[in-house]
């Protein structure tokens, strides 16, 4: 038995296209009905993006697109590719991608233009497979630790260090659009609460792999590798 509600939540982390406001509103109502524990974070998310009425077009959509890109893609706070969050470009991520690709294909879950470890793709995979043993292991060993690590990257000190690196590396710092700069942190928190509710995640200390996660160091290694290849 699947968990179709995860398919309703996944579009929150897709790139914001026309209709994004309606998709967020649908996820918000789903959370209100099924996961009241996560409702406060969803309320914060929709308020931060100015989506209280579900409308999202024109300048509002442009601003949300810029925020999404600044949060996850260009001079990012973190990434939605959970394997990179945990392992950077280490071979372990390659193993995860290989195994996930097989599961996506077997489940008929299209990853579109994104990689197999992209958060929305994983949420849609859970929607299809439900609570089978593979998903249980995925949540315990990969997804939950990655979400905790992603949330930690929004800490002001970590954000400041990344911005300092970006300014040094690229000679300029992309401005954050005129919406709350950490808005997606609320959505990630809501996602973690939903996972905790469905999979009864234990209250445990961070695993060693999670404690060793450092998104900035992974970026530095990746950029250094690209510089060597380009020289």
Q: What is the pLDDT of residue 53?
A: 67
CA distances from 219 to 173, 215, 223 (A): 16, 6, 6
Q: Is 200 exposed, middle or buried (0-12, 13-18, 19+ CB in 10 A)?
A: exposed
Q: What is the pLDDT of residue 145?
A: 93
Instruction: Let me know: does 199 contact 133? Beta carbons within 8 Å.
Output: no
Q: What is the pLDDT of residue 206?
A: 53
What is the token pair recorded at 65? Answer: 């697109």
Q: What is the mean pLDDT of residues 146-159?
A: 93
Whether the predicted pLDDT of 183 surpasses 90: yes
CA distances from 83 to 80, 87, 90, 119, 185 (A): 9, 6, 9, 10, 18
Rounded CA-CA distance 56/26 in Å is: 13
Q: Highest mean pLDDT range out of 16-25, 175-184, 220-229? A: 16-25
Instruction: Let me know: does 188 contact 150? Beta carbons within 8 Å.
Output: yes
Higher pLDDT, 231 or 183: 183
- Residue range 53-88, pLDDT digits in tens: 667 778 889 999 999 999 999 999 999 999 999 999
pTM of this prediction?
A: 0.91
Whole-number average pLDDT of the chain: 90
Rounded CA-CA distance 227/119 in Å is: 28
């Amino acid at each position: 038995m699947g968990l179709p509600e995860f398919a309703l939540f996944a579009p929150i982390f897709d790139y914001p296209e026309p209709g994004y406001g309606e998709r967020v509103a649908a996820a918000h109502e789903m959370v209100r009905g099924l996961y009241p524990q996560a409702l406060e974070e969803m309320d914060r998310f929709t308020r931060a993006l100015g989506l209280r009425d579900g409308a999202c077009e024109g300048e509002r959509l442009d601003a949300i697109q810029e925020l999404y890109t600044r949060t996850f893609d260009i001079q990012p706070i973190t990434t939605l590719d959970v394997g990179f969050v945990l392992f950077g470009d280490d071979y372990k991520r390659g193993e995860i991608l290989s195994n996930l690709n097989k599961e996506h294909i077997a489940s008929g879950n299209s990853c579109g233009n994104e990689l197999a470890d992209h958060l929305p793709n994983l949420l849609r995979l859970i929607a299809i497979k439900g609570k089978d043993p593979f998903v249980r292991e995925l949540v315990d060993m990969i997804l939950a630790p990655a979400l905790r690590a992603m949330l930690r990257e929004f800490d002001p000190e970590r954000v400041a260090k990344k911005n300092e690196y970006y300014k040094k590396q690229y000679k300029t710092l992309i401005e954050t659009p005129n919406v709350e700069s950490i808005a997606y942190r609320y959505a990630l928190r809501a996602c973690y609460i939903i996972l905790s509710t469905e999979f009864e995640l234990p209250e445990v200390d961070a695993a060693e792999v999670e404690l060793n996660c450092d998104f900035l160091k992974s970026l530095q290694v990746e950029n250094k590798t690209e510089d060597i290849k380009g020289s």
